[in-house]
Amino acid sequence: MGFSPYAPAGFAARAAGAALVWATVVGCSGDPPARSPTPTTPVDVCASLVSYWVKEGLKGSKWAGLDWEQKGLSNEQLAIHDDVLARARDEERRAGRQAAEQLADRLATRRCAAAEGATGSSENWRPPLSATPSHSPPS
C-alpha cells in the first residue's frame, strides 16, 4: 500500500474532529456562563442618553453640536435634553461642573421616568396615524 493522495485531507478531517471534541469538552467544564444583563428599559435608555449628551454639552465637546438624530434622541428626549442642559449650565455657574453633572443625572432620570422613556417622535420617519390607509373592502 503506497501513499494515498487523499491522506492529507483525511488527516485534516480527523484533526478538525478531534479539535471540535476537545473544544466541546473544555467548554463544558468550569464555571457556568455569566447571567445575561437585566434588560434595559426605555426609561434607562432615555436617562443615559440625555445625561450623556448634557455632560458633553457642559464640556463643550465637538460632539455636543450633533443634531438630535445623530445623538440618537427622540423628539421628546431632545426637549428633555434642552431643558436639563439649561438647568445644568445654571448649576455649573453656581456650584461647578461636578454639581452640574450630578444635577443632570438626577433631572434626566426624573424627567425620563415621568415621560416613560420619552420615546415619542415627530412622526417624520413614518406616516402619521391619520394617513394610514383604511382596510375597508372596496365598494
The reported pLDDT for the residue numbered 23 is: 55
pLDDT at position 63 is: 84
Q: Which residues of 75-86 are buried (b: 16+ CB within 10 A; e: fewer)?
A: ebbbbbbeebbe
H or E element, residue 80 = helix 75-95
The ranges assigned to domains in the chain are 42-114
Which grid cell is 14? 480527523
Per-residue pLDDT tens, the chain, 139 aa: give them.
555 555 555 555 565 555 555 555 555 556 666 776 766 899 999 999 999 999 999 999 888 888 888 888 888 999 999 999 999 999 999 999 999 999 999 999 999 999 988 887 755 544 445 544 555 555 5
Q: How far apart are CA 107 and CA 114, in angstroms?
A: 10
Residues in Cβ contact with 47 at an 8 Å cutoff, skipping those fewer than 6 apart: 105, 108, 109, 112, 113
